[in-house]
Structure 1
């Protein structure tokens, strides 16, 4: 499924790297997250990014992935590719299969103020959020999306996925320092942009400030952005209608990150750290239980915790929760 904007690639705006750039990180071994924690190799307050394949969660240390941008690996015979951009704060999970061959991807530069993917086999450049080939001999190809990439805390991951695996990369000291600097920049509300980065942008949607943070949600027919400030104003939770289904969009009070899932409940409120729904379900640490305290796996739409400019460039004329539908463009 691809509801993203497609357009001709503007080479004048692109900052391109080629195969001489260092390759992406290839994960050859995944470690049990609970074991890594027990050994003291990871701190409780470290932010994580989490993907899910066939009910198996794989977690990445956010500062490491923000520094590496691209990581590839294999789980139970299935190849996967993860991308994350510290500029837009968005990430995605794809299959790296192109015409039934596993391609090798690495950082390819920047376009629309977001990281580009570059495949070594054909020398083509790909959009890191859509999986579309933008420039090169494979234009028209699209990588298959495998999973959301969710922002979670260590506590949340272990609660939701006790058997989660960790893709742990040992960075040299200098790279670790740079990764920590990148992480501070990523988390800043108004990080400073260089003129070169601004030059890569396309036509922006000025309905919200460029660096506004929010949760972008999309389905076959709906593209909607929920500003974090709007969620805070509604006591960190709201129930919306998306494609005829109720969607709960929330901000977790402990991690401060938003998320969304479908429900049949019509009311929800936070009671301390527990989100209580009027259908008997409850959520704590992103784990949902029914009225009998049995674990439930919620249906989550595709979603991105990103800066406004990024979602708006990929979904022109998208809806903004609480604002009239934009009919321009």
Structure 2
């Protein structure tokens, strides 16, 4: 469960209706296929951008074009229902358990607050924060959805390389109208200044320590949060070491990756070599696995992390630390 320090909800500055009214605001998925099969059959290309998440050693991924058209996707992993969110403006999403008080809730995109997506459930007609899972407005105020995992952005080729996670593709056909909407939302995601006035109108007080729409990797626990601007990472040749809550933290972005990741690993050296990150004493990271000097692979230990724009991270986790050097 993620804990924010959110102030009381002010409906006067919230958008409480779907800003994309007329377009479906939730996708229910049940069909999937192995990523390798989807690539072989041309369902996706190697460079297709995906929003992915891992549950119990299984990687699920959805084309970003579909995510941007719906913003809320629900499905089931084995016997566990899940609900994934994504905010086109703040550029991040979460995966929650949609069962609250024993009731399965059906969520959809429904407005914005603090410049972030609001999700709404049909059963209690309440509005929820899409990162922390807190209910902000409605009869469910005071309740919070259980976080299952975080999302990651990657290409189909990246996902396919993670064979230890048996990657599966979740997909759906978009109508021509939805495809056009998705393209418009991609432009907004790439350059949110197009909608800056609308975003700012829902924000009361903003943290101005960094540029509003700067992208960074946010790392967090229930007690602490750290924002790592991408420009700081790139200034260190896309691989840096630091500490987080007293533990050595490695932050890196492989050359063919579209997003950085963070992992707990102790190393004085971190050098990129094609699709491999070389560490001390023959240790290296490849395809999301940690390899010891004798070639044995281990699953990487990762903190909770979000690729997110500064304004959204700072508003959700006020007082967060910033890695500046």
- TM above 0.5, yes or no, is yes
- Stretches of structure 2 lacking an aligned partner (at least 5 in a row): none
Q: Which residue of 2 aligns with 1:280?
A: 282
Paired residues for 1:1-329 under 5 Å: 1-17=1-17, 22-161=24-163, 163-188=166-191, 191-322=193-324
* CA–CA distance in structure 1, aligned partners of residues 168 and 302 of structure 2: 21
Please state whether the residue corresponding to 1:121 is helix, strand or coil: coil
* CA–CA distance in structure 1, aligned partners of residues 84 and 283 of structure 2: 32
* CA–CA distance in structure 2, aligned partners of residues 280 and 136 of structure 1: 55
Q: Which residue of 2 aligns with 1:326?
A: none
Please state whether the residue corresponding to 1:224 is helix, strand or coil: strand
Comparing 35-44 with 287-296, greater Cα deviation is found at 287-296
Please state whether the residue corresponding to 1:65 is helix, strand or coil: helix
Preserved contact between residue 118 and residue 125 of structure 1 (Cα < 8 Å): yes
* CA–CA distance in structure 2, aligned partners of residues 219 and 290 of structure 1: 27
Deviation at 1:23, TM superposition (A): 4.6
* CA–CA distance in structure 2, aligned partners of residues 314 and 23 of structure 1: 23
* CA–CA distance in structure 2, aligned partners of residues 277 and 198 of structure 1: 42
- Stretches of structure 1 lacking an aligned partner (at least 5 in a row): 324-329
TM-score (norm 1): 0.93
* CA–CA distance in structure 1, aligned partners of residues 46 and 204 of structure 2: 39
Please state whether the residue corresponding to 2:194 is helix, strand or coil: coil
Deviation at 1:129, TM superposition (A): 0.7
TM-score (norm 2): 0.94
- Change in Cα spacing, 1:3 to 1:279, as seen in structure 2 (3 Å) is farther
Aligned residues between the structures: 322
Preserved contact between residue 217 and residue 261 of structure 2 (Cα < 8 Å): yes
Q: CA RMSD in A?
A: 1.9
Spell out, residue by residue over 1:270-311, the C-alpha distance to the aligned partner (whole angstroms, 9 max, x if none). Answer: 123321010532123434322233332111111110110000
Spell out, residue by residue over 1:73-96, the C-alpha distance to the aligned partner (whole angstroms, 9 max, x if none). Answer: 011110000000111101101100
- Change in Cα spacing, 1:222 to 1:16, as seen in structure 2 (3 Å) is same
